[in-house]
Amino acid sequence: MAELWRMTPGLYLANGTAIYGPHSICERNTTYEVEEYSPGWVLIGDDGGGAGYLMRRQGTVGGRDGEVYRLDLGALSDDVKADGEYVTDDLCRWLAASGSDVECG
């Protein structure tokens, strides 16, 4: 996320996907009570249709840093990896392939 935020303060794709900037990520995580329902994960964006993109908090045991999963925001769980849909382990490249102007280093 830090690499992405150095390039852009958040972004929206034509398909409705939003990746939150540093100015809104805390509010979104509080609103959806991510720490309560999905401890160890951070909500980094949404698909514009009711599902969120979650990434492990840095240093969380049990997975690789950088993995992103998609999960219904009304069904957050403590096992995002099992209940969610795997999206990518390279957010920057995934966004670039999805049509954003993000240029990966």
Determine contact, residues 53/45, Cβ cutoff 8 Å. Answer: yes
What is the model's pLDDT at position 96? 78
What is the model's pLDDT at position 93? 82
CATH number for the domain spanning 56: value is 3.40.1580.10
Q: What is the pTM of this model?
A: 0.83
Is residue 101 domain-resident? no
What is the model's pLDDT at position 98? 77
Is residue 100 domain-resident? no
Which DSSP state fits 71?
Answer: E
On the CB side of 56, how many CA atoms lie within 13 Å of its CA? 16
Residue range of the domain that includes 62: 2-92
Query: Rg of the Cα trace of the chain?
Result: 13
Domains in the chain, number? 1
Q: Which residues in the chain show pLDDT less than 70?
A: 1-9, 59-65, 99-105
What is the model's pLDDT at position 10? 72
Count other C-beta atoms under 10 Å from residue 30's C-beta. Answer: 12
Is residue 59 domain-resident? yes
What is the model's pLDDT at position 59? 54
Structure token pair of residue 65:
């840093």
What is the model's pLDDT at position 63? 54
Beta bridge partners, 39, equal: none
